[in-house]
Amino acid sequence: MEKEIEKMVEDAAKKVAEEGFAGEYEEGDDWVEEEEVPQHVIDEALADDARQRTKDLRQMEMYDDEMWNWSGLR
């Protein structure tokens, strides 16, 4: 049983040594390409950022307001 496993490991090692393995990157390979992001995804991200900034600003103003923040100014 052990000899069979050793033979399988040796065969796999030889195969990798001869052929390489998936994910191996060699100088000059062009298989790594950047995906193009659709414009509507970019626009949604910008809108989400603007909404988040507005929410953060409102919260900051609430904490700085003497009427809303009863625990004291920060």
Neighbouring CB atoms inside 10 A of 63's CB total 13
Q: Span 10-29, mean pLDDT?
A: 69
- The residue that leads in pLDDT, 9 or 50, is 50
Query: Dihedral, CA atoms, 6, 10, 12, 14, nearest 10 degrees?
Result: 180
pLDDT digits (tens, 9 = 90+) for 27-66: 655 555 667 889 999 999 999 999 999 999 998 888 887 7
Q: Note the pTM of the prediction, 2 decimals.
A: 0.45
According to DSSP H, which parts of the chain are helical? 2-19, 39-64
Asked if residue 68 lies in contact with residue 62, where contact means CB atoms within 8 angstroms, the answer is: yes
Phi, psi of 52 (to 5 degrees): -65, -40
